Structure 1
């Protein structure tokens, strides 16, 4: 969404910092279906009427472990492929989207005389797939960037490189992005947030349970600097690790970064220099091409003060080595095999437990899909997104919005004044389905089929220039934050919009021919989840116009917060691995989204029946099928290191608990499955969390 160089985790963090709430964590591409499709670009249906009955474990009791009951046999038979850190429903669609992207690329590349976007798509893919050419170049593409770092002999020069890292390989102590101003959402603003870390989260530096990862990271830093020909790589690695550990100590936690009020701190650059005087902000500003604006919104003020002080006292040679390492680390996937393998050995094997590298063509299609996202998306929609799917989705969304309106009306804990404002906000939701109405123009982006490294840097520079060019212009309300081929969905509070890319509108989430109960339990819960984000612990802080402002009566906010604390305590008790607990505060917004989403979706399903009883299919009632459909979208497995990383750094709960933790707060689930006191999942009615 911002830069192709960002890892999945980093892209997710940047999206969260921008105030966008996604439905799922950034899943790696993987495949999982109940039956192999004969065409790799064709979605596989789930069972006869939309649910995989063969995957159930009917020996399990629904009230003891609903996940086991609904998907247990499937999970027993599920093996995570050797080139994956996780495997599940989202991965299946990501793989499907990747296969389709490959078909699009091959068609574009095979055109008689490819021009325009076809030439760009085919040329970028060719540059990645020409492994022999990349191997021959080895480390040579790094030479220019490393020379610039060696020539940056002052703190000002290094800060300028950090600012410029938005459009080239490299790192920054302070990241930046362009987004709608949270308190003036009709205009764009520059945001800046803490950075400087190479590991997924500050806990990896400070928590003893990650000591082995920290040690491995130090060895990785030394190895990459050695391969790049950097002087004294072992000493540099020690200095870099010590530096990043100091930055980690100064950094805000992921929970603190979730607070929309505390992370909104507009400053002039003069005020920023007063707040964090140890950092050359004017040089950074020049490097980032932000000299045309004097207003910047700071995310973590106290961390900025400390990190700037760290920068001021760190030796120049350490700062240069730090920048060199992050340049090589980011560039490694686009260099020769020895760099690719070293990068994967650490980032994949060590950090996520993934035994094998993904096939090169899959990495190549991912690069093209992210770099030329809407160019690929335009072709994706033409080939794979029928008009009837969009029409059925529009009806589903309409049903969910009506259901949410009804739930707000019936709330017994909310005052009339706050209800009226909540209804106003709901009535102004913008809904985007499938693809944007206007496609982005990539004609100014130069792609050279013989220059992979240069292509990726030009993509980054092109994307950053596109963002900076927004400043001073009206907000484009038609712009999308995800591509049509992205398997996800999101709520953007400053736009007050819910967005559903085409690629998620496939089984098991949505099947035009499936039983409606399954669709409402699947994509209906996704829709409800995004609607609920407008009213979760952070989304509720934005009004109908998308402005960050307090529109709640104080007593209503107090009651709301009391319920969210109870929800947080429930999730913090969950233990994905022995001694590893879900962070109920970090995952709060997503957990509220899941709970609100399933309730709204169930109400919408009931409304869709028009007063008629739901049919019984294969001995299952409509409500039972609804809950099975919900469980089906979350079935997946993780490697232990992957789950550890998610729990520490991801605002989404592990998928098992997105089913388990959600349904145990839903009264209708108890009724549907006859869950009684004594069942392991039973929660007393008075202890169930009731928000929306």
Structure 2
């Protein structure tokens, strides 16, 4: 799950009712509990010959691992893939209905049809050749000085980056812009962020690892091949300038660890500060090009990188920057340019970087493009057809119960001072939780789509999203704003909003089944809900108070205890070794791992509370507690290609799913449910079981 400070994924505006779960009485918990009676867990996924205490992942997912093959167009599969497959089928059926109909002009259905048809028609794309992109390429070639360059760099800015994930930059942007409340609280401001790399992050450029060095060689060749295929003259010389410039850009970037240190990475600058603290770029021209001139206060999220990148604009030749702009504009839009460019893009980004054997079918890519560029238009149609009100109500009841359980866990923490507990409980009580979809949808009335013009349509959608984000600046934070599409299989915690989003698409098997008994649903979607709640109290989320402002609301003694628990968990994950000599990075994945254990514990407490002191029935030979933990383990069924797994370990804040399934090792109830004794390979002595909350 994506869990940075704010997941700036797709533009959407939402409003959902406040859930004050900490005030829900036990009677409400009983009434809100799921009413299904079926087993829920997949016994055909299991390998019951394995000992749960020796190989828990094999026990819950061994059968699935043996019979599951990674599709040629995927770098990995798992629980999220399974839910995503069903969502894709639903969306495909929805598109088929729209295609057969004659939607009224000006409606979302008509916009979806226009965009989808244009994207899908590769024959027309090939026939158009490079003509659609020529105005942008000519705009780059018309740059005559560094002031022109600064204006064009500003005009390239889009609002589609995540401030705390250095891999999420739109590759054509030297700087990213993200719009939300300032980290220290107050009004909504634009964040200025490091960008400009064509590979996932700086380590791909700077690491001495032989695999990274090989990828650098392949990337350098890819730049040249793409420029040649696009008909760009002197492609090899220009490719060398582009690659050399990106090496300098990578050295200017702050590290992933520095980027993840929210307190030091964030710095409020006035507009005038940029010229003084980051000389080299004509900031007045940049702000004019990026439509940011009217705004006076910015969050310079990577100040050291901003300074160095600005200096590069001045020191590097104008032609190198023009070549870089040309390459990245082509690279970022390969899917709506001739097939030969699209194929080259897949060969590097799909095959070389992720190990994927073949590209996804065009119809599925068209759906992905719709999700990225018109997410709410498609989402509104999706939930009307596939997400019943009963499912939303049931999940909201579970959210209430798990929030109550988390608040109760805070009460029971014996090392925390009363004033720290009070603020922690206030965070839970005031947390906005969006379930399924927003009550208010993004408007696309101003989106001018042209039939048969996919490149122009993509640019128009990106520019509309950017304008919509800029419109938020200077206004109070909207705690109910959504950052995910309803049709996305994911969930997110938003610390500066003190809010959560649970899109409709994740509320289906293997995460949620209304026919299954409470043990399954609390172990599966309940753990997801608990995970996202817990992100407000992980090593990063705990830095924000109940209003979403970053401030220290901890006593020194409380903070020390909290950090000790985090270190113990990081040390635990450091021991996992997917490949000889390559271990999971416990510190990099700490936030996710804290959220996993705290969320699973809260979900378990809520499940037990829903039983009102009774024991759950045995179903299919499994007790309620066994079903709870098996359900959790099966949501983390994961199979990845080696290249993708290595990339995950090197750059991602999420540990691989098979290790996340081992979170159960830290819960006393798991040992009891499966009779795990000392001597078992996964056994942890009670004093070594990490309980952060």
Q: Which TM-score applies when normalising by structure 2?
A: 0.92
Counterpart contact for 1:647–1:654, Cα < 8 Å: yes
Q: Report the secondary structure of 1:184's partner residue.
A: coil
Inter-partner Cα distance in structure 2 for 1:247 and 1:485:
35
What is residue 182 of structure 2 aligned with on the other side? 181
Following superposition of structure 1 onto structure 2, how do residues 586-605 of structure 1 map, counting pairs within 5 Å? 586-605=588-607
Inter-partner Cα distance in structure 1 for 2:70 and 2:117:
30
**1:643-674 CA-partner distances (Å, limit 9, x unpaired):** 111122221111111112x1111121111111
What is residue 215 of structure 1 aligned with on the other side? 217
What is residue 507 of structure 1 aligned with on the other side? 509
What is residue 28 of structure 1 aligned with on the other side? none
In the TM superposition, residue 19 of structure 1 has moved relative to its aligned partner by 6.6
Counterpart contact for 2:4–2:494, Cα < 8 Å: no
In the TM superposition, residue 399 of structure 1 has moved relative to its aligned partner by 0.9
**1:111-164 CA-partner distances (Å, limit 9, x unpaired):** 235322121100001101122111101222221111111111222222222221
What is residue 190 of structure 1 aligned with on the other side? 190
Counterpart contact for 2:5–2:496, Cα < 8 Å: no
Inter-partner Cα distance in structure 1 for 2:688 and 2:488:
38
What is residue 69 of structure 2 aligned with on the other side? 79
Q: Report the secondary structure of 1:16's partner residue.
A: coil
- In structure 2, relative to structure 1, the CA distance for the partners of 1:170 and 1:142 (3 Å cut) is farther
Inter-partner Cα distance in structure 2 for 1:441 and 1:105:
20
Following superposition of structure 1 onto structure 2, how do residues 1-400 of structure 1 map, counting pairs within 5 Å? 16=4, 18=6, 49-116=39-106, 117-167=108-158, 171-185=172-186, 187-209=187-209, 210-400=212-402
Counterpart contact for 1:266–1:297, Cα < 8 Å: yes
Q: Report the secondary structure of 1:548's partner residue.
A: coil
Structure 1's unaligned 5+ residue stretches are: 1-8, 23-45
What is residue 26 of structure 2 aligned with on the other side? none
- Asked if 1:542 corresponds to 2:533, the answer is no
In the TM superposition, residue 389 of structure 1 has moved relative to its aligned partner by 0.6
In the TM superposition, residue 217 of structure 1 has moved relative to its aligned partner by 0.3
What is residue 39 of structure 1 aligned with on the other side? none
Counterpart contact for 1:445–1:459, Cα < 8 Å: yes
What is residue 668 of structure 2 aligned with on the other side? 667
Inter-partner Cα distance in structure 1 for 2:571 and 2:309:
32
Counterpart contact for 2:172–2:196, Cα < 8 Å: yes
- Asked if 1:485 corresponds to 2:470, the answer is no
Inter-partner Cα distance in structure 2 for 1:648 and 1:308:
28
Counterpart contact for 2:39–2:620, Cα < 8 Å: no
Counterpart contact for 2:9–2:483, Cα < 8 Å: no
Counterpart contact for 2:38–2:515, Cα < 8 Å: no
Inter-partner Cα distance in structure 1 for 2:638 and 2:201:
24
Inter-partner Cα distance in structure 2 for 1:672 and 1:170:
49
- In structure 2, relative to structure 1, the CA distance for the partners of 1:18 and 1:160 (3 Å cut) is farther
What is residue 421 of structure 1 aligned with on the other side? 423
**1:445-478 CA-partner distances (Å, limit 9, x unpaired):** 0111210100000001111011111223333333
What is residue 15 of structure 2 aligned with on the other side? none
Counterpart contact for 1:188–1:471, Cα < 8 Å: yes
Counterpart contact for 1:665–1:690, Cα < 8 Å: yes
Structure 2's unaligned 5+ residue stretches are: 11-35, 160-169
Q: Which moved more, 1:373-382 or 1:111-120?
A: 111-120
Q: Which moved more, 1:511-520 or 1:469-478?
A: 469-478
In the TM superposition, residue 290 of structure 1 has moved relative to its aligned partner by 0.5
Runs of 4+ residues deviating >6 angstroms: 19-22
In the TM superposition, residue 21 of structure 1 has moved relative to its aligned partner by 12
Q: Report the secondary structure of 2:481's partner residue.
A: coil
RMSD: 1.9
Q: Report the secondary structure of 2:537's partner residue.
A: coil
Inter-partner Cα distance in structure 2 for 1:156 and 1:508:
54
In the TM superposition, residue 48 of structure 1 has moved relative to its aligned partner by 5.4
In the TM superposition, residue 572 of structure 1 has moved relative to its aligned partner by 2.1
Counterpart contact for 2:50–2:58, Cα < 8 Å: yes
In the TM superposition, residue 579 of structure 1 has moved relative to its aligned partner by 2.3
What is residue 561 of structure 1 aligned with on the other side? 563
Q: Report the secondary structure of 1:470's partner residue.
A: coil
Q: Report the secondary structure of 1:208's partner residue.
A: coil
In the TM superposition, residue 540 of structure 1 has moved relative to its aligned partner by 0.9
Inter-partner Cα distance in structure 2 for 1:433 and 1:669:
29
Inter-partner Cα distance in structure 1 for 2:239 and 2:37:
53
Inter-partner Cα distance in structure 2 for 1:587 and 1:594:
11
Following superposition of structure 1 onto structure 2, how do residues 602-613 of structure 1 map, counting pairs within 5 Å? 602-613=604-615
What is residue 688 of structure 2 aligned with on the other side? 687
Counterpart contact for 1:165–1:171, Cα < 8 Å: yes
Inter-partner Cα distance in structure 2 for 1:675 and 1:281:
62
Inter-partner Cα distance in structure 1 for 2:247 and 2:171:
19
Inter-partner Cα distance in structure 2 for 1:135 and 1:21:
29
In the TM superposition, residue 236 of structure 1 has moved relative to its aligned partner by 2.0
Inter-partner Cα distance in structure 2 for 1:278 and 1:584:
38
**1:328-358 CA-partner distances (Å, limit 9, x unpaired):** 1001111111011011111101110001111
Query: What is the number of equivalent residue pairs in this alignment?
Result: 655
In the TM superposition, residue 181 of structure 1 has moved relative to its aligned partner by 2.0
In the TM superposition, residue 93 of structure 1 has moved relative to its aligned partner by 1.5
Inter-partner Cα distance in structure 2 for 1:131 and 1:566:
53
Inter-partner Cα distance in structure 2 for 1:318 and 1:20:
30
Q: Report the secondary structure of 2:299's partner residue.
A: strand
What is residue 21 of structure 2 aligned with on the other side? none
Inter-partner Cα distance in structure 1 for 2:120 and 2:295:
40
In the TM superposition, residue 279 of structure 1 has moved relative to its aligned partner by 2.0
Inter-partner Cα distance in structure 2 for 1:421 and 1:478:
21
Inter-partner Cα distance in structure 2 for 1:418 and 1:75:
44
Inter-partner Cα distance in structure 2 for 1:630 and 1:193:
36
In the TM superposition, residue 106 of structure 1 has moved relative to its aligned partner by 2.6
Counterpart contact for 1:438–1:478, Cα < 8 Å: no
